[in-house]
A and B are shown apart, each in its own frame.
Chain A
Amino acid sequence: MALERKIRELKEKREKMLLGGGEEAIGKQKAMGKNTARERIMAILDDDTFNEYDMFVEHDARDFGMDKKHLPSDGVVIGTGTVHGNPVAIFAQDFTVAGGSLGLMHSRKITKIMDHALQMRIPLIGINDSGGARIQEGVNSLAGYGEIFFRNTISSGVIPQISVILGPCAGGAVYSPALTDFVFVVENISKMFITGPEVIKTVLGEEISMEALGGARVHCEVSGNAHFFAMSEDECFSQIKRLISFLPRNNQVRAAVIETLPPKSTYDINKIVPGDPTLPYDVREVIRAVVDDSDFFEIQEMYARNMVIGFGRMGGRTAGFVANQPMEMAGVLDVDSSDKAARFIRYCDAFSIPLITFVDLPGYLPGVDQEHAGVIRHGAKVLYAYSEATVPKLTVILRKAYGGGYIAMSSRHLRADFVFAWPTAEIAVMGPEGAANIIFRKEITTAANPDEVRRQKVEEYKEKFANPYVAASRGYVDAVIEPSETRRLLLHGLEVSENKDIQMPWKKHGIPPF
């Protein structure tokens, strides 16, 4: 009977802990459209798979009256479970307990589950909802953040790390998400910034709302800090589950292979790309016309839209897609789009996900602001990322591929394994207008009718060089193909390169143009 009593005691203790900050605090949380920490975890994990640890952990801070304060589970919930049957480690800060503030024990719980994730080589999901450092615990809370950042960095490229911002995430706290692979945000709920509106107002005299400074939309559209935007927590949770379905558990294994489904017949690959290289179209239609089940999962959809990145499956296996988007800024490479593509390429390489690149770009974006913003070093990131990537690299040149942009977009010269070009491809040092004006400057300026001569020379150049055959004659393009052959050749290329093995020279690590 003693056992029964003890079990009853345990149940009571657990129930108390499961209430977190109590009914009132939970009511406030709900009123903001927010779920509680444990509800969020359950919503992401498969049913009945969540196992919580460290439920009874308590802080032992003594200063500022903390010795009299009881904070259930110290404001953070940790555990393990599965998503689509794949094991994951997860933590969720509990805003109902002292505003989810991070003290020493709170951080020790997080680092405990991070250590598990790394040692077990399983993905880590972190749900952030915290007012920041627990000021009463002083330097101990700083130490806590530091220990988290260190583990984020060491785990980077070993296990997938996902951050979910479901509340405030301010000050130093933002650097944990920034160090992870993917950041999820929700409209009106997520707030991220280093210094809040109050500080900005007192120091700089600039007035701005929290939402305009660091809301979900801002980080998805402007800063590029976040990767997935949702209108509600539920939408966010289904995005997370979908992302995980594409990812391998760690950098030593491949993502799960699923049944191969053909692209949907609604996408007619012959009708998407206009022949005139100056006309726009949505390159995502090309991806959907090629990828299994026409199912393309776009990343950073709202940021630097002139570059499209995301996951899809080819023959049931995960592939990473990178594509210039002629619909936006003519698909140019600029500071932001280079940054976006380069990071994704490195992600795919780290987790052995083959890269498929669709090329259609006029080159780099000219302008003082671009030059001063460092388009040289940012643009170099794309070259660096493609060059160092040892995963299978397949390239399809759809239309224009001019100048430095041609080189950067997974060209043969950066060791692409297969380079295909559609007959509409124009692989040249620059566009016909610009090239003709330079090469034939004398003929044009000295002619009696310069406009007529210019038009002739542009036509001449187009005829001779604006095609895929010059590059094909040098072997820079492996095959000029019909659009309808694209999927078959990509599938074949991936099959052939399944066991690709390249030895790189020994190095501690490279020095990418960060």
Chain B
Amino acid sequence: MEKKETEKLTIDQTQYTTRLSSRFAGRKQYAPPVPGRICSFIPGTVVEVLVSEGDTVNEGDDIVILDAMKMKNRLKSHIAGRVASINVKPGDRVTKGAVMVEIV
């Protein structure tokens, strides 16, 4: 077993001297979702971007078609607004959580 250094862990305002697990050390900081961001919910390939920068869109409009898990997924806008930026083009492979289009 590898010997790790002890660190501090605070629980209920008490500081404990202990080793931290890699799962704990590598945990992701929580970030609240931004409704205007069209993100890839799973990794996949961009088939088509249905809007251009500056377009006005309504809530529920299709924005991107993402090919993932043998499905062509239509990603819709959660808000009404204007397309501020497009970060992908057809054929791009995206990882999970990548911001593809931003609507403000």
Contacts and interface: CB of A to CB of B under 8 A. Distances in A.
Interface of A: 203-206, 221-222, 277-280, 301-302, 304-306, 326-332, 336, 362-363, 365-369, 402, 430-435, 437
Interface of B: 1, 6, 9, 11-24, 27-28, 30, 42-45, 69, 93, 95
Given A203-B69, A326-B18, A327-B18, A430 B12 contact: yes
B28 A431 contact: no
Given A328-B21, A329-B21, A336-B23, A280 B14 contact: no
Given A363-B12, A434-B12, A206 B43 contact: yes
Contact of A369 (B6, B13, B14, B27): B27
Contacts of B1: 301-302
Contacts of A326: 16, 18
Contacts of A221: 22
B93 A205 contact: yes
A362 to B, nearest CB: 4
Nearest to A274: B17
Nearest to B26: A369
Nearest to A335: B23
Given A205-B95, A302-B1, A279 B11 contact: no
Given A205-B43, A367-B27, A369-B30, A433 B14 contact: yes
A430 B18 CA distance: 19
A510 to B, nearest CB: 29
A309 to B, nearest CB: 16
A79 B78 CA distance: 61
B18 A328 contact: yes
Contact of A330 (B18, B44, B95): B18
Given A368-B30, A369-B27, A369-B30, A431 B13 contact: yes
From A331, A362, A402, A435, residue with most partner B Cβ within 10 Å: A362
A206 B68 CA distance: 13
14 contacts: A204-B42, A205-B95, A206-B95, A278-B17, A280-B6, A280-B17, A305-B21, A306-B21, A326-B18, A327-B18, A328-B21, A329-B18, A362-B11, A362-B12
From B6, B24, B45, B95, residue with most partner A Cβ within 10 Å: B24
Contacts of B17: 278-280
A328 B30 CA distance: 23
A278 B16 contact: yes
B1 to A, nearest CB: 7
A433 B27 contact: no
A330 B27 contact: no
Contacts of B27: 367, 369
A131 B50 CA distance: 44
Contacts of A206: 43, 95
Nearest to B24: A329
Contacts of B69: 203
B20 A329 contact: yes
Nearest to B27: A369
A328 B20 CA distance: 6
Contact of B9 (A203, A329, A336, A432): A329
